[in-house]
């Protein structure tokens, strides 16, 4: 593949050329990355080591936390390294690998969020059939479908990019290898390919966002008949989900729904769904969730956990 190219490596221009800004950004993203690992590991351990793992919503939340860790780890370590070095170079192979893995884990996350919305819809709108519709076999099937969907999404973008000839220049105006900045460097007309990217990423994101919001509106409509206590619990759960959906999908749609062009604002919007949302997810899903907070207290605030004794 590289024989078709004059370019064997790319230079990532990053977020800023100002050294002071780079140092401040490094410290900020270091704190974000540590918070992402700490928060999501706490979520995963609290769910896995408690009875919550048997509930479909927390089953999906456990894997959402895992996908958050993997997703942000495809971007953040390289970003932080480049903020401290003058030589912000990435090889052609590593660039293509980053493109594939970033969109794979991002796609998996999108479909897991969709699975969580389906779970809430069934729980609130079809409560009598919930145990049958959302059994463990169905949950595992949704998880496998999420991985398959992420793989197909990422493979499509990878195949659109891997066969492009790059003749120079080799400077990517971004902090990681993404499809639009790479299309900008290709030696051929990428106008038609840009529309395929819109179909693969932009339209897919928009359609899923509309479906998710419609499902939550149906949920909000149905909870009117609930008691005040159950209505408050349902609204608290759904408000957390809606917050995540908006924070994640709004920047994705902004970046990928338009033709193959790059804007200075793209870097800021991309930071939201690659770093900021994975950092906020643990807070969003625990602050208003009594079950999650109780599980965290039970797992992390007992001597049994630290002594390695089985919990009763």
The CATH number of whichever domain residue 231 belongs to comes to 1.20.1070.10
Identify the pLDDT of residue 56.
93
41 within 8 A of 47, measured Cβ to Cβ: no
Region 147-164 average pLDDT = 94
Identify the pLDDT of residue 104.
97
Which residue range(s) make up the domain with 167? 90-289
- Please give the tally of structural domains in the chain: 1
Read off the pLDDT of residues 47-60 as tens digits, 9 standing for 90 and up.
999 889 999 999 99
221 within a domain of the structure (yes/no): yes
Region 102-110 average pLDDT = 96
130 within 8 A of 123, measured Cβ to Cβ: yes
Helix (H, G, I), strand (E, B) or coil at 212: helix
43 within a domain of the structure (yes/no): no
Rounded to whole angstroms, how far apart are CA atoms 292 and 218? 25
157 within a domain of the structure (yes/no): yes
72 within a domain of the structure (yes/no): no
51 within a domain of the structure (yes/no): no
User: Which residues sit opposite 171 in a β-bridge?
Assistant: 11
Confidence grade of residue 306 (pLDDT, cut at 50, 70, 90)? low
Rounded to whole angstroms, how far apart are CA atoms 9 and 195? 26
13 within a domain of the structure (yes/no): no
121 or 290, which is more confident? 121
Asked whether residue 1 carries a pLDDT value surpassing 70, the answer given is: no
152 within a domain of the structure (yes/no): yes
Read off the pLDDT of residues 164-219 as tens digits, 9 standing for 90 and up.
888 878 899 899 999 999 998 988 888 889 899 999 999 999 999 999 999 888 88
Region 137-147 average pLDDT = 96
Asked whether residue 249 carries a pLDDT value surpassing 60, the answer given is: yes
71 within 8 A of 106, measured Cβ to Cβ: yes
The answer to whether the pTM exceeds 0.75 is: yes
Identify the pLDDT of residue 303.
47
Identify the pLDDT of residue 307.
56
Tell me what the pLDDT averaged over the chain comes to: 88
Region 224-230 average pLDDT = 73
Read off the pLDDT of residues 259-285 as tens digits, 9 standing for 90 and up.
777 777 888 899 999 999 999 988 888
111 within a domain of the structure (yes/no): yes
Read off the pLDDT of residues 91-102 as tens digits, 9 standing for 90 and up.
999 999 999 999
């Amino acid at each position: 593949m590289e024989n078709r190219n004059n370019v064997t490596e790319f230079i990532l221009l990053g977020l800023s050329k100002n050294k002071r800004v780079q140092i401040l950004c490094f410290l900020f993203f270091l704190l974000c990355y540590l918070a992402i690992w700490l928060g999501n590991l706490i979520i995963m351990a609290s769910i896995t080591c408690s009875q919550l793992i048997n509930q479909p919503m927390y089953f999906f939340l456990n894997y959402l936390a895992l996908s958050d860790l993997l997703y942000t780890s495809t971007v953040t370590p390289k970003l932080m390294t480049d903020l401290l070095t003058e030589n912000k170079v990435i090889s052609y192979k590593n660039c293509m690998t980053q493109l594939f893995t970033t969109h794979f884990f991002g796609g998996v996350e999108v479909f897991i969020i969709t699975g969580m919305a389906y779970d809430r819809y069934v729980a609130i709108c079809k409560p009598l059939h919930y145990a049958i519709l959302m059994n463990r076999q169905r949950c595992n099937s949704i998880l496998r479908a999420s991985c398959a969907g992420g793989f197909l999404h990422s493979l499509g973008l990878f195949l659109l990019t891997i066969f492009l000839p790059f003749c120079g220049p080799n400077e990517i105006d971004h902090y990681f290898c993404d499809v639009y900045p790479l299309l900008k460097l290709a030696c051929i007309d990428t106008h038609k390919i840009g529309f395929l990217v819109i179909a693969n990423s932009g339209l897919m994101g928009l359609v899923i966002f509309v479906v998710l919001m419609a499902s939550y509106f149906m949920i909000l409509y149905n909870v009117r008949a609930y008691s005040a206590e159950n209505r408050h619990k349902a609204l608290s759960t759904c408000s957390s989900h809606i917050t995540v959906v908006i924070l994640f999908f709004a920047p994705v749609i902004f970046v990928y729904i338009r033709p193959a062009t790059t804007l200075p604002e793209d870097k800021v919007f991309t930071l939201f769904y690659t770093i900021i949302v994975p950092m906020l997810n643990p807070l969003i899903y625990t602050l208003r969730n009594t079950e999650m907070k109780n599980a965290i207290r039970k797992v992390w605030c007992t001597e049994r956990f630290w002594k390695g004794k089985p919990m009763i």
